Amino acid sequence: MAAREGDVAAAKVLLRRGAQQLEEDRPVEAVRLLGRALAKLFKHESRHELVQALSLCGAAYERLGLLWAARGTTLTAASIATSEYWTYADVTILQASCYRRMKWLELQLGRVPHVLAWHEIDRATRKILAQQGYEAKRLGDGEVDFNGILGILILRTDFWQLKWLSALPDVLDGLELYVAADALRYTLGHEDAMPEEITKGDADRDSLLKFFLYLRDQPAGTELPPIPLFCDERTLTFSSIVLGCRVTVECDNEQPSVALAESILAALEGLLASGLVDRMVAREPRLTIRVRKSAFCEAPFSFELCEENGRPHVEIGCGAFDPNRMSPEAQGLVKSRLCEFLGTILARVFVFADFEQGLNKFFGDDRAMERAIAFTSSFVVLGNVCLL
């Protein structure tokens, strides 16, 4: 197909096949097919198909439990979809779809500030689409569930964090997240401020406790982290489990360290998403990574693999640069360094059953490094959306 009609035509075939594999609940095969299509679709005339392919690839990652890769891929889709607004001033249903998916992914990751930011963008987009004639009820599908599940996450807040959240209920009310706001008010001890829909005329402590215990114990809570992350500490810790290895990344709570930590986890998950069918396994149970700001590292970042308590540990020195405004040359340098990093981790922490055959298929046929590096990063793409 590529020889007869060109790369875009071949990529559209891969896109259809990938969608079929995902529909048949074969997410690994969907990732492999869609990953091969992404680079071929990276053209202006096929940008809509690229957004669809990225969204489907993100859904496949999510189904595999690889939330960082799903977030990075969906974020790239959102950035490309948002370019329609910057170029043509168009607000589209593709944009709304990406923004909605992003807030659900951040909810599963437990990062409350990010959830609220994406929800605010999603609300504004849906209002504009409703004014354009789209059915408001259909645009709002899933909002009740989102509101309730955010409330479940809020109820898991540690007591020591509550003193910082006294103003948050009003913010949640302003975003029409009333269940989450009432859950936080109850957690803060404002039992007298509960609405009649909850108390039903009976505002005693036992009835309120039963209601919020019932909310907390809903099955949807199994998809959430044990506590919410408000991202207000000096250092942040992100984690993932990839092929049996728990990967933990600790970073300074400032840019570009956070973007680099997000991109590392997303790229590692995206690279190894098809690892099980490629007969790969982790030889180490744990991998720790520390991202530190450094004025002396080789730009844009440098890394050193060492041992800590007998387990692999990576020290990363991150230079000072704006992750949302990078030249094409700087972006290429970051991707090249990420490629070196992933190659180092792959050789030290993971093994193939058949090294030569597996490596050729992994990097050749499936283009795993390309889908991991080029379409999961937080650099530049986040700024393209957040400027809204």
Helix (H, G, I), strand (E, B) or coil at 286: strand
For residue 319, how far is the Cα from the chain centroid?
Answer: 24
User: Residue 65 in contact with residue 246, Cβ under 8 Å?
Assistant: no
Look up residue 92 and give its two tokens.
């589209």
Per-residue pLDDT at 199: 64
In order along its 388 residues, the chain shows pLDDT tens digits of 666 567 888 999 999 999 999 999 999 999 999 999 998 998 888 999 999 999 999 999 999 999 999 999 999 999 999 999 998 889 999 999 999 999 999 999 999 999 999 999 999 999 999 999 998 888 889 999 999 999 999 999 998 889 899 999 999 999 999 999 999 999 998 888 787 777 665 556 677 888 888 998 899 999 999 999 999 999 999 999 999 999 999 999 999 999 999 999 999 999 999 888 888 889 999 999 999 988 888 888 999 999 998 899 999 999 888 999 899 999 999 999 999 999 999 989 999 887 777 777 777 777 888 889 989 999 999 888 875 5
| 213: its two tokens | 């215990």
Sign, CA dihedral 143-85-375-68, equals: negative
What is the reported pLDDT for 204? 63
CA distance 27 to 21: 7
pLDDT for the residue 194: 81
Sequence-ordered list of residues with C-beta below 8 angstroms from that of 245, at least 6 positions apart, any chain: 282, 284, 285, 286, 287, 349, 350
Closest CA to 259 of 114, 157, 162: 114
